[in-house]
Amino acid sequence: MDKQNISVGLDIGTTKIVAMIGRKNEYDKVEILGLGKAKSMGVHRGVVNNITQTIQSIQQAVQEAEAAASEKIEEVTVGIAGQHIRSLQHSDYITRPNSDIVIDEDDIDRLINQVHKLVMLPGEEIIHVLPQEFKIDGQAEITEPIGMYGGRLEANFHVVVGQVSSIRNIGRCIKSSGLELEGITLEPLASANAVLSREEKEAGVALIDIGGGTTDLAVFKDGIIRHTAVIPFGGNVITEDIKEGCSIIEKQAELLKVKFGSAWPGENKDNEIVSIPGLRGREPKEITLKNLSKIIHARVVEIIEQVFVEIKNYGHEEQKKKLIGGIVLTGGGSQLKHLKQLVEYITGMDTRIGYPNEHLAGDSDEDIASPLYATAVGLVMDGLKRQERKKAEQIEEEFVIENEAEQIEEPEVEVKVEEPIKERRSFLDKLTERVKDFLDNAE
């Protein structure tokens, strides 16, 4: 099988580490060849806190995926999240020396590089700079400035910031697991690519990815990401509450949550009781489902209210920033019974559960199309896109070299090929290169 057409997504979560191998089929859909899953031992709230245990979990997940796909994994696209990720809005401008020449990629690169010089808190680094709208000589709401004339080029930016040490630790775990880092992607962006449609991103939508340790938010409007946030609470906190509230062990609390848990206490009758075996010959415990759902409800309301504050920070109340697409819930925590109804009740926004099946091949396993694997599917898709971009760049280079050899003037077609390639080159690609260089020099 052609290695070039295979991509591997590695989702390093707080509760589980998932390795997923996929490729594009003839219908441009993603076909999942293998899936490996391991309990995440060394990650807390999306941040690696034990390198050795994380490496073991990664190796276990990768071996399982390799066995399922009969493929050897060499490179992975990894997701970054965690409570150290934050975002901010920033405006900046450049003055062009000659306004009689049209604006090109170099001008936009110069403006973006200027944003990269922003002074951050110690240990923080800008990991993503996303231009939103541009202004040319005061003319606003320009989405594509290339090819226009103007002296002052201005833009609003969505800047994502993270702890560089946390990102390097993930890189170290991957390298020590015997793998190469193909790319780094923000997990909320990966999940969004897997479960959101283009129409939703245009209309305005908030994606809430409820994981084990964190809840990630990504807000889209007019097809552009407008706001990202990471809430340092997820499904694990709910399990912890059940464990404390019912005086049972964690394994039993997790089982209770998954099998009988509900985010809406009114759904359970007072006489619905579940019996939990006692420890070491002790009497079994009887827990009412109403009490269980009250514990879950209290914590879920807290998480959703925090997420809703972030959505309102974006300005959802304003008519111009209205999110017509409402809310899409994904991640393992979104499978909690009656969560959709509770989110609608708290926010007053239309809500649906996001399944990553839109981009998957028709014969995919039902388990893979679960919200649980939304991030992993998104990472596989990102890896495949990155490969396509590399191929296009190689073709581009060969084309230019041939033309130079033949001393032929470059035809106009060449410009059309170059622009989207340059435009698509993400700052996460540059971050990946920086992490790779750091790891190579550290050895």
How confident is the model at residue 293, as a pLDDT? 92
**Interatomic CA distance for residues 226 and 314, integer angstroms:** 7
On the CB side of 276, how many CA atoms lie within 13 Å of its CA?
Answer: 24
How confident is the model at residue 283, as a pLDDT? 85
- What pTM was computed for the model? 0.84
Residue with tokens 């906190």: 237
Domains parsed from the chain with CATH numbers: 235-299 (3.30.420.40)
pLDDT digits (tens, 9 = 90+) for 434-443: 777 777 777 6
Report residues of the chain scoring pLDDT below 70: 1-4, 404-427, 443
How confident is the model at residue 443, as a pLDDT? 65
Dihedrals φ, ψ of 433, to 5°? -65, -40
How confident is the model at residue 3, as a pLDDT? 55
Answer yes or no: are the C-beta atoms of 148 and 136 closer than 8 Å.
yes
Q: Is 318 helix (H, G, I), strand (E, B) or coil?
A: coil
How confident is the model at residue 427, as a pLDDT? 63
**Contacts (Cβ under 8 Å, ≥6 apart) of 320:** none
Q: Is 70 helix (H, G, I), strand (E, B) or coil?
A: coil
pLDDT digits (tens, 9 = 90+) for 307-339: 999 999 888 777 778 899 999 999 999 999 999
